[in-house]
A and B are shown apart, each in its own frame.
Chain A
Amino acid sequence: MALKRSDLLDFYYRELYPQLQELEEERKRVARQVLFAGTVIAVTALWLIAVIEQNSFDAAVQVVGIAVALWTLLYGWLTTGYRRRFKRDIFRRLVARIDPSLIYSHTGMIPRTLFRLSGLFDDSIDHYSGNDLIKGKIGETPLEFSDLRVEKETTDSKGRKHRITIFAGTFIVTEFHKHFHKTVKVYPDVAEKYLGVVGGWFQDMANATLVRMDSPAFEKEFKVLADDPVEAHYLLTPNIMEKLVQLRKRVGAPVYLSFKLDKLFVAIENGGEWFEPSLFRSLLSLDVFKGYIENLNQILSIVEELNLNRRIWSKE
């Protein structure tokens, strides 16, 4: 992270801009195709709903379901080449420029075992996919992250299958610098944020292992589940709690953490679109480019922000 913002802008104008211009032409073409396909599907679906004899709600739902599935399929198919080129020609070079020691793989992802190990989310996984794996070391601390989409299937009363998203976003695995023996998990606190004190009571009743922390700002955003309250306070120092509140505000998405088996897992539920190329906004816009850098910085700076390189404890 030694690069300055001005260096990156220089890199953008000198090295990336010519390629971005080429890719911008492709983006426009793909966007036109996607819009055309979307319009055709939407008009056809509306027409079908209008002409269905029974005019039944169920049939309409089915048509919409098929239209959405078809649209998803077509969207993926039409944009694959464009996305791949963006990742290969632009994003990979940007990552290498920010930190040459980082290894980037467009098709790689955090393995399912690590996702499961975090213990943060529902374990009944039916579909597990991801991309944009970045791996490396920040100072002494190993770090890897990728976008993930994790889903499960449920069947409703009419026998229709639905996919439910368990997690969609950026999943980060790093090493924590202190010894600990039990598990500490940090979740976004929906109850206390919106229900205040009453929400806090409900939490107390529902979770025997809920640990109250000594930072009101942190308690407002997060809730902590831990086997041992002392260890929870040991890992979540006042400084780390403050940084986590700041991180939550900066990323503007729910943040989950799990301290388990020497590792720190951070899950940012941002939909997993942080590193995807824009389709309906110009690639040449500087804001779009800055967005990618900002998002990469958010993740890489976690190591520094949480002081993970600080090794004054007995753990080597």
Chain B
Amino acid sequence: MTQFLIAVAVVAVAGILIYNTLVSRRNQCDNIFASIDALLKKRYNLIPNLVSLVKESMEYEKGLLEEVTKLRAKAMQPDLTPEQKIAIADELAQPLHGLMVAVENYPDLKASEQISQLMRTLNEIEEQIAAARRAYNQAVTDYNNARQMFPSSLIAGWFAFGPKELFEIPGAERKNIDVKELMNG
């Protein structure tokens, strides 16, 4: 009888540990997603500034500026789902990078201290966003591994720990930006 009770206790403790691990991994994913959200907001807050500083000089990139402004407005809408937020962020990445590259072609703009400071901050945020996405993907991989591996898969099944999706790294981010194509588009 005692042996049976000990066995039950061991199984119960193991079960609790596994459950807690699953919860902490799921929370980890959510926390990192919240950081991504915060970083995206920081990026959106900089865009009006950048657009107003460069629009006078950038005659030929009007289309690019409009696209960036339009997508930014779309991203600022309330009640977006996480998937929508990421989709808009991905859509915005390409014209925004195009704009940043285009600034390099204007010596006047490049020389402005205000713009160069803004570009540095944007660069920083872009890299932070990329890092946060990597961190998120790693956290999701750890969580999904725990969900699928035995014996934690049993607990995950009983308590309905659903799967989480990895972020696709968009194709546009992987290939080098073709500035000409962007300008014509």
| A residues apposed to B, CB below 8 Å | 178-179, 204, 211-214, 228-234, 237-238, 312-314
The verdict on A233 contacting B135 (CB below 8 Å), with A212-B142, A314-B117 known, is yes
* A204-B21, A233-B138 given; 6 more Cβ-contact pairs under 8 Å: A179-B124, A214-B137, A232-B135, A233-B135, A313-B124, A314-B121
A229, B127: Cβ atoms under 8 Å?
Answer: no
* CA distance in complex: A234, B35 (Å): 12
A contact residues around B137 at 8 Å (CB): 214
Q: List 13 A-B contacts (CB under 8 A).
A: A178-B127, A179-B124, A211-B135, A212-B139, A214-B135, A229-B28, A229-B32, A230-B132, A232-B135, A312-B123, A313-B123, A313-B127, A314-B121
B contact residues around A238 at 8 Å (CB): 134
Q: Is B128 located at the chain interface by the 8 A CB criterion?
A: yes
| B residues apposed to A, CB below 8 Å | 21, 28, 32, 35, 117, 120-121, 123-124, 127-128, 131-132, 134-135, 137-139, 142
B49 CB to closest chain A CB (Å) equals 14
A contact residues around B127 at 8 Å (CB): 178, 234, 237, 313
* CA distance in complex: A237, B130 (Å): 9
B173 CB to closest chain A CB (Å) equals 13
Closest residue of chain A to B123 (Cβ to Cβ) is A312
B142, A234: Cβ atoms under 8 Å?
Answer: no
* CA distance in complex: A213, B134 (Å): 8
Task: Choose from B121, B131, B142 the contact partner of A230 (Cβ within 8 Å).
Answer: B131
* CA distance in complex: A238, B131 (Å): 9
A313, B120: Cβ atoms under 8 Å?
Answer: yes
* CA distance in complex: A204, B20 (Å): 12
A230, B28: Cβ atoms under 8 Å?
Answer: no
B117, A230: Cβ atoms under 8 Å?
Answer: no
Task: Choose from A233, A313, A314 the contact partner of B131 (Cβ within 8 Å).
Answer: A233
- Among B120, B135, B137, chain A packs the most CB atoms within 10 A around the CB of B135
Closest 6 interchain pairs by CB?
A: A234-B131, A233-B131, A233-B135, A313-B124, A314-B120, A230-B132
A307 CB to closest chain B CB (Å) equals 12
A216 CB to closest chain B CB (Å) equals 11
Closest residue of chain A to B36 (Cβ to Cβ) is A230
A233, B132: Cβ atoms under 8 Å?
Answer: yes
A15 CB to closest chain B CB (Å) equals 45
* CA distance in complex: A213, B139 (Å): 9
The verdict on A229 contacting B139 (CB below 8 Å), with A214-B134, A234-B131 known, is yes
The verdict on A213 contacting B138 (CB below 8 Å), with A229-B28, A313-B123, A313-B124 known, is yes
* CA distance in complex: A312, B119 (Å): 8
Task: Choose from A178, A228, A230, A237 the contact partner of B124 (Cβ within 8 Å).
Answer: A178
A contact residues around B139 at 8 Å (CB): 212, 229
Closest residue of chain A to B24 (Cβ to Cβ) is A208
